[in-house]
Amino acid sequence: MQKTKERNHFPSIVECYMKQHEATEEEAIDFVRNQIEDVWKDINHESLVCKHIPRTLIMVVINSSRTIEFLYKNNDNYTDAGEEFNEHMKSLFVHPLSI
């Protein structure tokens, strides 16, 4: 979160929650993580019971959500990709899979 402050971007959801609820950073992060967990439960449930939307469209939404979570779960890997993220990308797209 410190890097976000240094870049003078818009405030993060954590910063907004802290200000609005007079919460600590840790409390705000816990709140956001719980919200994300609840949304994943909703997405998974709806993907199983929804019959009027084509499965391929549902999978586009789910896979987009997975991508966003992967990019932002622990760090802002979109803006500042760390070594762990780079190694993961290499394992997916550069290094061959052993069969």
Question: Predicted confidence band at 48 (pLDDT cuts at 50, 70, 90)?
Answer: very high
Residue 6's pLDDT is 64
Q: Is the pLDDT of residue 76 over 60?
A: yes
Q: Which of 2-6, 62-66, 89-93, 94-98 has the lowest mean pLDDT?
A: 2-6
In angstroms, what CA-CA distances link 62 with 22, 44, 51, 54, 59? 33, 8, 15, 13, 5
Question: Predicted confidence band at 1 (pLDDT cuts at 50, 70, 90)?
Answer: low
Q: Identify the three-state secondary structure at position 24.
A: coil
pTM greater than 0.75 (yes/no):
no
The DSSP call for residue 10 is: S
Query: If you write DSSP's letter for every residue of 35-72 in order, what string do you get?
Result: HHHHHHHHHHHHHHH--SS-HHHHHHHHHHHHHHHHHH
